Structure formats: structure tokens, C-alpha cells
């Protein structure tokens, strides 16, 4: 009787939801401090900020590793809640607990601290285009990450690299990704030259006349993000070197960077981050700060940014709407932003060095390169000192171009330098999922393109809220796609999308 | 042998410094989130932010209340460190521990949460000038504060209100403050009419011609703060409703508000906050994040803002420097900013409603009013619903004026609405200490005024760094004054300063 009472304590699950809510709240604070660091912090704050993030990260970690958490999980599982969302929540709690307890607390703190330090040094190294400046901090961070991967692998039965991927997009392994990426590589080798040839045969005049004043760009970004559905009473738009979307569902922080020679870079960046923001804002509020109330993983998240940026905002329908808006924003002729000229910028295909500026057809090549390099680094088959050479060789092989310097090579992305290994595949899985979701949405809601043609994302957003956002993490990546589109990830939809957009004369 | 080893564990003190450093780091994170809330947070973030601050506050509190902290304190005290700074640090750790353990963790969290909520409602109530909007949240917050005061009183042997004062300026009680304030009230009743009469006999043309463009004001504030000694590689200047100085010693966050009709409000506000900032930046770096490395209390802090703003920046010497700088900043004639016209604004004495805009002679009356009201509220002798009436009556008695609305009455200050009771006396104790320190500094460093006459705060700042900043909390308030000026707090220096500045024809 006494044993029974202990093992099936009906309050155990409630105590767990309180514990996870506190942990999520600490993580919210960290997200805000991360925004501050990237967007507004003076240089003098770097060391103190690294300490702050390390201590908070350690505290959040402790909440998952004390003995009461383990006892409550055992007790709650002995008498699982009847509500399916609560049962799924409990499953995800167990998963988080298993991952957290695999990694010792001092390793978590060391990782956070080294990541903040390495990230700061990387900012200088990228500016100086000098990989050697950051090679040692990166090697230290990689060594710690490999320790973490080994610890995660030990409890999950996954390979080390798979164990890292699993922390960003649960349920996806290299075993699933490798053939999908190989298939795409084959598609690209055949499609890219054809797309380039078709493009060469067309008129290439780019839209508008530079300079595009920064203030006008910022006002335009703000206006269009709001029109897509971002509520600025619970969001900000600021500047940072590397654009991102952070904050909390009711206080979203989007950043971008402006280039007066090219309005499209900031605008498309903001629409991309708006896609992320809408997912966060659309998560089930009644499961706020619970595992089941979060996004279904980073590939799922990227599908939501790319369905806005790539599928919707570069569609024929939206380009027609965008022209007059741009003309007005920059005080230029409407004809300068005609659909064919907009397409010459927004749908230009090319072999280029910078991932975040790449077109959607070559973007996966950038990801495939990083996927292979980071898999080799985690496996111990590639040393950090050999990274610049391996990078440049990979670029030559995949896209036939050689980066002229490290700033346009292996220094361009923040990810590895802040400890994100296993994250990159999510971008391309997300792009593929976005194409698959868009095809399903168009089939289900015939008014989507008519909406986009007048700048109205309502029909699309309504479908996304119902079929993606409101589910939170109730489903895994493939199950989410299955309930929304009737099938798991299918790279054919992405190829069909690219074929329609780039391979028809 | 075994007992001895436990009781005099030589690592106990080191463990305590690590513990206090972690706690201070969490408090730094809270300070940054506080800045964010006041300066940049969208409205949608209020509830989540209140939760974040409450959780972090609870975590910091827990670090002082777990049993290991108590054991380590006992062990460290059994064999105190030989270094005097470390011994003082241990004393201050015990004091913090005693205070923290007096207040239950759930009360600390409730206070933080209610304070954030009440502060947000107050922002709306002040805008609407409607005290009723915020009366209930304030009454709730007062009830919690009285609980806290009772708990603190129980462990310290102080009265309830004294126990609150002690959390802001250790070692000062109402028993010391009441006669100092009564003496000042008597001085003011005699001095204010004389100062007003002398002022009426002079020319009153105010400096320059409005509007003073906000952008020009901001650039000027930034330039002069830097010239006073603020290093912007470790500081920011932003905007908020209520100006403050927050952040950390290497990442200081100053805020102000701009009024295009009056350049002096923002400028003097920024110089005031710069004084606070210089104190923080000058604290002993080798005791960073330790109790002994923090400021010596809020009255000590205010002495550092007021010695910059009131003593130095409104001195004859600095007004002579300021004139041409202002003329250039606003593109106006130098004659428009002649010393007598600057004095007509920067040394104008008058009976006014708003504390933060009050001149230095009437400012203490605003503080004395708040001191008496909050003492009565904490004692249970004044109900929140009676506050607006008592406020207006006090203003009539002390300054002979009646606030026309609550925005210009009891709603004007953030303090009570974010839970700060016992803080107000620090302002006037600080003003008195500033006069005392300035007199001692001038006696010791004859070049101070020559420096100010060319905008150079170096000689003054050098003396402050040596005699105030670098001591951190090594001394209590009166001992700090004693080692710097040869005597404890002496209100005569402040009266002498006012007499020289306002009561000589």
C-alpha cells in the first residue's frame, strides 16, 4: 500500500510540469541574454556575459539532474496521465532527462562558457578572415562537443554524430539523411547547369537602382513582417551580424543586417525570421513552457521559415504584389520592380560562397558540405587545422568554385563556433519539408496564391497554424509531415518545386 | 581530530566565494533583464519577464539558503581568513545569509513577481494619472513587503522599517535619519524664502532657445558622459521612462529621457547616472562578484552620482566650460549659454511637484515626505487608499504647494510600485555625503576646479577612485566618510554648500 502510494503519486506529474516550467523560464532568460549579446551588448560585456550564460545553463541543467526529478519521472510513468498531450509531454520529459543526465553538469557549464568565448573570438577572426585566430578555441570546443556526443551516444544507443543531430531534430539520423542528400547531389549535378543555361538565355536586369536607404529598408521590413502576421506588440526587429529569431512566444526578437546595395538580403532575411517567429507565436499556449508545447525540432522550425521566405514570398503571386510596394518604399518607378526583374534577383541561381546568401537550389550543396565535414570532425576523421583545406576542396567538388579566403569559407557561419554541431542538416530537411507542406497546403486551400497576390498570408498561415504550429511537439518530424501531408519526408516535392521554378523555359 | 578538520575546513571560505560569485552572476542576469524590460521590451513580454525575474530571484535566494552555505559559513568563521578584505567579505556574507534566511523563498519569489506586475500596471496608471488603477497591486505589494520587514526585523533586532533601510544602506537607522531630516526641514523653512527672494532680484532669462533637437541632446550626453570618464566600450546609453544605471561594471546600462523644450533634464540626468556608473566601474576588480567588491550601500552610491551632477557639473567652474559646448551642440550663440543664464536653469530654486526635476535645496523635502509616508505605511499607520491624500497634505506642509493630480503626486516615482520601501532616505543622505566628500576633495586636491573649468573631471575622479570607489564595501557608510573626510556624516557641509551657492547675493 505504501509502496503503491509512492510509485503512483498522482502529484508527481504536476511537480514535473512545474519543474519543466521553471527550467524553460531560465532558458527564456538565456535567450534574452543571447539576443542582448548579439544585438546591443558593448564589447566590454563579453566575459561577464559568458559567465552569466554558463551559470544559468548549469542551473537549468541541475533542474533535470537532481534526484527528485528522477523519482517523479518514475512515479509519473508508473501511473501515466490519461490526457494524450500530457502522456506525450511525459515521454518528452523522460527524453530530456535522459539526455541531461548523460552529460555531466561541469561539462555543460564548460561547453556554454567555451562556446561564448569561441563565438566572440570568431567575430574577430571572421572580420580579419583569419582562421588561425580561432583554430584553438574551436578545437577546444570540438573536443568538449565530442565528449558530449559520446555521453549522449552511451545512453541513446545512437552513433555519436546521430546523438548530436537528435538534440536538434529528434528522430532523424545520418542513416536517413545520407541517401536523401546523395539523391539531391545527383539531382543538383544535372539540374544546376540546366538552370544556369535557362537563366543565361533570359534578361538579367536586377530590380531597382541602388542605394536602397537603410531606413527605408527597415521600415519596409517592419511593414511586410507585420503584414505576414508578426505582431509587434510582442516582437522587436533589431540588427546583428548574423540574423536570427530569439526571445519567447510573446516577446520575439528578430534581427537582420542591411546592405544598401541590395534590399533583398535584409527583406528576405526578415521574412525568413518572421516564419520562425510565427511558428513560436502559434505554439499551443496551454502547453507553454512544457516540452510538448515547443517546436517539433529544428528541421520543423526551418520548414516554417522557408515556407514563408522561399515558397510564399518568392512565388509568382507575391512577386506581383511586392513590385509596387518596393517602388513606393524606395521612391522609384514601379516598372523597375516588375516581376521578371524581381525574379532576376529573388530567383537567381548561382554558384556562390556564402550559405545565407545562396539560392534555394544551391543552398543544399552548402549544407551537404557542412554535414560531411562536421560528421568527419565528430568521428575524429578531420582535425580542426585541416578544416579550411577540406572546406575549399568540398566547395570545388560540389559547386566547382574555390573560396578566396576563410571569411568566405569556413569562417562564414556562427554554428560550429558557438558549439552547434549536428544542426546544419536541419536547413535542408526543412527546405524539403517546406516544399512538401506548401504542396499540401495549396491542394487543401485553393485561395493561398490569390491571397499572396494581394500580400495576404492569411489563407496559408491559417493552414500552417492548424496543421503545424498548434501541434507543438506532439508529433515527431516525420509524423508531423504525415498528419499534415499524408506521407513522411519525401524529397520529390522539393525537386518538383525546383523543377517548376527553375527548369521550365 | 575529525571534528576539528570539519569545523576549520580551509576550503570552506573558497567554496563560499565560488557560491557568492555564482549568485552575483545570476543577479547580473537579472539586472540585464531589468534593463531590457525598461528600455526595449515590447509590451507582450511583461508576464513572461515577471516570471523570469521571479525564477532567477528564487534561484539566487536558494544559493544562500541551502544547508551547505550555512555549514561553510560556520566552518569559515571557525578559522577566519587572515587577509582583512577576506575577513570583511566573510562578515558581509554572514550578513547576506542572515537576511536571506530570514525571508522564506516563496515570499521572495512572490515579492519579485508582484513587483514586476505592479510596476507594469503603475506605468499605465501614471500615464492615466489614476491612482485607483494601481491601488490594489500596491496594497498587495505593501503587504508582502511588511511580511518581509517583519522577517528581517526578527533576525536583526531592528525595527521593521529600519530593517528595510538596512537592506539598501547598511548601518543607518531611522533613529539617525529622523533628527538629520528634522534639522534640514528647519534649515529649509528659513533658507528657501531667502533663496527665492535673492533669485527674484536677479535676471531670469533661461539658457538657449528651444526646441533642442533630441538627436543633438543625445550626442551631447554621450560626448559629455565620455569626457567625465564613462568608457563606452563597456557601457550603453538608451531611453526609458525612469532614468537609471544598471548592468555590470564592464557592461553598464544608463538610460535617460529627452525633452526637446529643456536640454538640461536629460543632460543632468545622464551626468547623474554617469556618477553611478563610474562608482561601479571603479569598484575593486579583484573582489568582483564578492560582497566586499560591491558598493558601500545606496546612500554611498547616490553620493557618487550627486558629486558629479550637483557638486561638480553645476559648479561655477564647469558652467563656464559648458556654455560654448552647448552653443556648438545646438547651433546657437555662445552668449545664450552664458554662466548667469545657465545658472538660471541649472541652479533655479523652486517649489515643484516632481522629485527628479527638483533643485538640490528642495529635493530633500521630497525625500522627507516619502520617508515619513513609507515609514507610516510599513508601521501600518497609513493605508494605501489614504496615500494620495497624505501625499498632498505633506506637500502643502513642506513646500506649500498642492499636486494637481496623482501623476504629479504619489504616482510619480517607480520605487514603491516595484517594491522599494526604505530606499528614499538614501537620496538625501547621499546628497549630504556628496557635499562632505566634495569639501574634502577640494581641500586635498587644489586643481579640481581648474580641471572642471576645462571639462576635465580627472583630478576629482582620481580622488574619488582612491577614497571611495576602490574600497568597495570594505567600510560602512559612516566609516567610509570617516576615512575619506575625517568625520562621519555631517549635514553641516551640505548646508554650507547650499548657503554658498544660493544664499549669497
Shortest Cα distance from B49 to chain A (angstroms)? 8
Spell out which chain A residues touch chain B, with contact meaning CB-CB distance below 8 angstroms.
22, 25-26, 28-29, 32-33, 36, 40-45, 47-49, 51-52, 55-56, 59, 231-236, 247-248, 250-251
Would you place residue B242 in the very low, low, confident or very high pLDDT band (cuts 50, 70, 90)? confident
Find chain A residues with C-beta within 8 A of B60's C-beta: none
Rounded percentage of chain A residues whose pLDDT exceeds 70: 98
Find chain A residues with C-beta within 8 A of B231's C-beta: 44
Alpha helices in B312-424 (DSSP H): 316-330, 339-346, 363-379, 387-399
Sheet holding A245-248, edge to edge: A235-239, A251-256, A245-248
Is residue A272 marked as binding? Answer: yes
Q: How confident is the model at residue A366, as a pLDDT? A: 98
**Nearest neighbour of B25 by CB, restricted to A44, A55, A250:** A55
Q: Who's near B384: CB < 8 A, 6+ residues apart?
A: B135, B138, B139, B142, B377
Torsion angle of C-alpha atoms B271, B277, B278, B284, degrees rounded to 10: 170
Looking at domain A175-502, which CATH architecture does it have? Orthogonal Bundle (1.10)
Q: How confident is the model at residue A7, as a pLDDT? A: 57
Residue in B215, B251, B255 to test binding to A, most A beta-carbons within 10 Å:
B251
Q: How confident is the model at residue B4, as a pLDDT? A: 44
Q: Over the stretch B314-358, which tens digit does the pLDDT of each residue have?
A: 999 999 999 999 999 999 999 999 999 999 999 999 999 999 889
* Integer Cα distance of A224 and B464 in angstroms: 52
- Domain-wise residue ranges, chain B: 2-170, 175-502
A384 and A434 in contact (C-beta within 8 Å)? no
Find chain B residues with C-beta within 8 A of A45's C-beta: 234, 247-248, 250-251
CB contact under 8 A, B248 and A47: no
- Point out which residues pair with B255 in neighbouring strands: B238
CA distances from B364 to B409, B416, B443 (A): 16, 18, 26
Query: How many Cβ atoms sit within 10 Å of the Cβ of residue B127?
Result: 12
By CB atoms closer than 10 A (0-12, 13-18, 19+), residue A376 is: middle
Would you place residue B21 in the very low, low, confident or very high pLDDT band (cuts 50, 70, 90)? very high
* Integer Cα distance of A113 and A111 in angstroms: 5
CB contact under 8 A, A42 and B248: no
**3-class SS of residue B353:** coil
CA distances from A139 to A114, A153, A176, A425 (A): 10, 20, 28, 21
Shortest Cα distance from B466 to chain A (angstroms)? 23
Residue in A44, A240, A249, A253 to test binding to B, most B beta-carbons within 10 Å:
A44
CB contact under 8 A, B250 and A48: yes
Shortest Cα distance from B206 to chain A (angstroms)? 36
The angle subtended at Cα A319 by Cα A313 and Cα A324, nearest 5°, is 120
Find chain B residues with C-beta within 8 A of A233's C-beta: 42-44
Quick one: cell of A402? 574555390
CB contact under 8 A, B235 and A44: yes
The contacts found for B479-485 with CB under 8 angstroms, 24 or more apart, are B480/B296, B480/B300, B481/B433, B481/B436, B481/B437, B484/B437, B484/B440, B485/B436, B485/B437, B485/B439, B485/B440
**Nearest neighbour of B52 by CB, restricted to A28, A36, A232:** A28
Residue pointed to by grid coordinates 523522460: A94
For B55, the closest chain A residue by CA position comes to: A22
CA distances from B338 to A328, B217, B321, B324, B344 (A): 48, 18, 10, 8, 10
Q: Over the stretch B160-173, which tens digit does the pLDDT of each residue have?
A: 999 999 999 998 99
* Integer Cα distance of B207 and B336 in angstroms: 5
Of the listed B273, B280, B309, B360, which one is catalytic?
B273
* Integer Cα distance of A271 and A455 in angstroms: 13
From the list A429, A356, A442, the residue with the least C-alpha distance to A169 is A429
Find chain A residues with C-beta within 8 A of B40's C-beta: 40, 236
CB contact under 8 A, B247 and A28: no
CB contact under 8 A, A234 and B59: no
Query: A12-39 and A46-65 helices cross at what angle (nearest 10)?
Result: 170
Could you tell me the end-to-end alpha-carbon distance of chain A, in angstroms, rounded to an integer? 76
* Integer Cα distance of B121 and A430 in angstroms: 42
Q: What's the DSSP call for residue B246?
A: E
* Integer Cα distance of A468 and A456 in angstroms: 19
CA distances from B22 to A37, B59, B89, B196 (A): 20, 10, 15, 52
For B63, the closest chain A residue by CA position comes to: A59
Residue pointed to by grid coordinates 568521428: A379
Q: How confident is the model at residue A356, as a pLDDT? A: 86
Find chain A residues with C-beta within 8 A of B236's C-beta: 40, 42
The angle subtended at Cα A294 by Cα A46 and Cα A92, nearest 5°, is 105
For B235, the closest chain A residue by CA position comes to: A42
Residue ranges of chain A with pLDDT lower than 70?
1-8
Shortest Cα distance from A180 to chain B (angstroms)? 40
CB contact under 8 A, A44 and B234: yes
List residues of A with catalytic annotation: 273
Q: What is the pLDDT averaged over residues B48-64?
A: 93
**Nearest neighbour of B43 by CB, restricted to A42, A233, A248:** A233
**Beta strands A251-256 and B235-239: pairing type?**
unpaired
Would you place residue B7 in the very low, low, confident or very high pLDDT band (cuts 50, 70, 90)? low
Is residue B366 marked as binding? Answer: no
pLDDT at B2 exceeding the cut of 50: no
Q: What mean pLDDT, rounded, does chain B reach? A: 95
CB contact under 8 A, A52 and B28: yes
**Nearest neighbour of B45 by CB, restricted to A47, A52, A234:** A234
Quick one: cell of B254? 544608463
Q: Over the stretch B89-125, which tens digit does the pLDDT of each residue have?
A: 999 999 999 998 998 878 988 998 899 899 989 999 9
Q: Can you tell me the ipTM of this complex?
A: 0.91
Find chain A residues with C-beta within 8 A of B251's C-beta: 41-42, 44-45, 48-49
B165 and B425 in contact (C-beta within 8 Å)? yes
**If phi over 0 gives left and psi between -120 and 50 gives alpha, with beta otherwise, what is residue B212?**
beta
Residue pointed to by grid coordinates 542528400: A181
Spell out which chain B residues touch chain A, with contact meaning CB-CB distance below 8 angstroms.
22, 25-26, 28-29, 32-33, 36, 40-45, 47-49, 51-52, 55-56, 59, 231-236, 247-248, 250-251
Find chain A residues with C-beta within 8 A of B33's C-beta: 29, 32-33
**Beta strands B235-239 and B245-248: pairing type?**
unpaired
Q: How confident is the model at residue A8, as a pLDDT? A: 67
Shortest Cα distance from B75 to chain A (angstroms)? 25
A412 and A354 in contact (C-beta within 8 Å)? yes
* Integer Cα distance of A445 and B150 in angstroms: 64
* Integer Cα distance of A427 and A450 in angstroms: 28
Is residue A469 marked as binding? Answer: no
Q: How confident is the model at residue B108, as a pLDDT? A: 84
Amino acid at each position: 500500500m505504501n509502496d503503491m502510494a509512492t510509485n503512483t503519486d498522482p502529484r508527481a506529474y504536476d511537480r514535473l510540469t512545474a519543474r519543466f516550467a521553471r527550467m524553460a523560464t531560465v532558458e527564456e532568460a538565456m535567450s534574452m541574454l543571447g539576443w542582448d549579446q548579439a544585438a546591443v551588448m558593448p564589447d566590454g560585456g563579453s566575459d561577464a556575459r559568458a559567465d552569466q550564460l554558463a551559470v544559468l545553463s548549469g542551473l537549468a541543467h541541475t533542474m533535470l539532474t537532481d534526484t527528485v526529478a528522477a523519482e517523479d519521472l518514475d512515479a509519473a510513468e508508473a501511473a501515466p496521465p490519461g490526457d494524450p498531450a500530457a502522456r506525450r509531454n511525459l515521454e518528452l520529459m523522460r527524453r530530456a532527462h535522459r539526455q541531461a543526465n548523460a552529460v555531466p553538469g561541469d561539462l555543460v557549464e564548460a561547453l556554454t562558457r567555451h562556446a561564448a568565448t569561441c563565438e566572440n573570438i570568431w567575430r574577430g577572426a571572421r572580420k580579419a578572415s583569419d582562421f588561425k585566430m580561432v583554430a584553438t578555441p574551436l578545437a577546444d570546443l570540438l573536443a568538449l562537443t565530442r565528449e558530449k556526443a559520446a555521453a549522449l551516444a552511451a545512453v541513446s544507443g545512437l552513433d555519436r554524430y546521430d546523438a548530436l543531430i537528435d538534440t536538434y531534430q529528434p528522430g532523424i539520423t545520418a542513416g536517413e539523411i545520407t541517401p536523401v542528400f546523395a539523391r539531391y547531389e545527383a539531382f543538383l549535378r544535372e539540374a544546376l547547369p540546366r538552370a544556369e543555361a535557362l537563366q543565361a538565355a533570359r534578361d538579367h536586369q536586377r530590380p531597382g537602382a541602388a542605394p536602397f536607404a537603410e531606413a527605408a529598408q527597415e521600415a519596409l521590413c517592419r511593414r511586410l513582417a507585420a503584414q505576414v502576421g508578426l505582431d509587434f506588440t510582442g516582437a522587436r526587429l533589431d540588427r546583428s551580424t548574423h540574423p536570427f529569431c530569439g526571445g519567447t512566444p510573446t516577446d520575439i526578437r528578430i534581427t537582420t543586417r542591411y546592405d544598401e546595395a541590395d534590399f533583398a538580403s535584409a527583406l528576405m532575411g526578415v521574412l525568413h525570421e518572421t516564419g520562425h517567429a510565427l511558428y513560436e507565436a502559434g505554439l499551443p499556449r496551454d502547453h507553454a513552457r512544457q516540452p510538448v508545447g515547443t517546436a517539433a525540432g529544428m528541421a520543423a522550425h526551418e520548414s516554417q521559415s522557408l515556407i514563408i521566405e522561399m515558397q510564399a514570398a518568392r512565388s509568382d503571386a507575391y512577386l506581383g504584389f511586392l513590385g509596387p510596394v518596393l517602388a513606393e518604399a524606395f521612391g522609384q518607378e514601379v516598372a523597375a520592380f516588375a516581376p521578371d526583374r524581381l525574379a532576376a534577383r529573388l530567383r537567381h541561381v548561382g554558384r556562390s560562397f556564402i550559405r545565407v546568401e545562396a539560392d534555394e537550389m544551391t543552398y543544399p550543396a552548402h549544407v551537404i558540405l557542412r554535414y560531411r565535414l562536421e560528421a568527419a570532425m565528430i568521428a575524429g576523421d578531420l582535425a580542426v587545422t585541416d578544416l579550411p583545406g577540406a572546406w575549399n576542396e568540398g566547395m570545388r567538388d560540389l559547386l566547382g568554385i574555390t573560396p578566396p579566403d576563410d571569411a568566405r569559407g569556413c569562417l562564414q557561419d556562427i554554428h560550429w563556433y558557438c558549439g552547434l554541431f549536428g544542426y546544419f542538416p536541419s536547413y535542408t530537411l526543412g527546405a524539403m519539408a517546406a516544399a512538401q507542406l506548401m504542396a499540401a497546403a495549396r491542394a487543401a486551400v485553393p485561395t493561398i496564391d490569390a491571397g499572396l497576390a494581394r500580400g495576404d498570408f492569411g489563407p496559408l498561415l491559417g493552414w500552417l497554424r492548424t496543421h503545424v504550429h498548434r501541434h507543438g511537439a506532439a508529433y515527431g518530424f516525420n509524423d508531423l509531415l504525415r498528419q499534415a501531408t499524408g506521407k513522411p519526408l519525401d524529397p520529390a516535392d522539393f525537386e518538383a518545386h525546383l523543377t517548376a521554378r527553375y527548369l521550365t523555359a
